[in-house]
Structure 1
Amino acid sequence: MITTFVQTAVVDSAFLAPVFCLLSQLLSRLAYVKYPCIPSVLLGYGLACSKSLTYRQSTMIGACMGFCYGFAIIGRYTSTKQSLLSFRLFL
């Protein structure tokens, strides 16, 4: 049970968060989603991924981990965006 939890946490944080960041960039470019709405979309991605892919057996654990994944994706998205903006500023 513990090894399954560790495996899914590593897979979700290492591989799915960057994929969702790329999806959010595509969504913001193609669907013209405004910047204040993007964190809500990313939180929805995290909840949907957690509940449908990794924690199907428990709704409570899926919701808690979905919020954690969603906030991790939001942090990675804003960090990448700020890094690119500062890189452009100093070039």
Structure 2
Amino acid sequence: MNFPIIHTNFWDAVIAIPIIMIITQLFKIIYHTPSKFVPTISLFFGLFISIFISHRHDFFAGIFMGWFYGYAAVGNYAALKCTLISYRNPEK
């Protein structure tokens, strides 16, 4: 079995991940989703965008990159949240 050839480009880092973060936050606000389900929702949106938009010609590449899109969005959100909390409440 050959592994898929995946080309990472501008779309991956600068557009897809922030879009997933925004969509996930809107979903959370509109549907009042509990926090424990947010990573799964982000993964779903990452897979959806990757399979149907950015890697629509290669299903396995879409799954592979969708996994990264979803969890990169979760990681970026967690890092941003921790940074803001730390900035607002500096330890004395």
Length-normalised TM-score, structure 1:
0.81
How far apart are residue 17 of structure 1 and its match?
A: 1.1
Q: Which amino acid aligns with 1:34?
A: P
Q: How many pairs are equivalent? A: 87
Q: Which amino acid aligns with 1:17?
A: I
Tell me the distance in 2 between the aligned counterparts of 1:63 and 1:16: 14
Q: Which runs of 5+ in 2 are unaligned?
A: none
* CA root-mean-square deviation: 2.1
* Mapping 1:51-90, distance limit 5 Å: 51-90=51-90
Q: Which amino acid aligns with 1:74?
A: V
Q: Which runs of 5+ in 1 are unaligned?
A: none
Greater helix percent: which structure? Answer: 1
Deviating 4+ runs (over 6 angstroms)? none
User: Among the aligned pairs, what percent are the same residue?
Assistant: 26
Q: Look at both structures and tell me which one has the larger radius of gyration over its CA atoms.
A: 2
Which residue of 1 is the match for residue 34 of structure 2? Answer: 34
Length-normalised TM-score, structure 2:
0.80
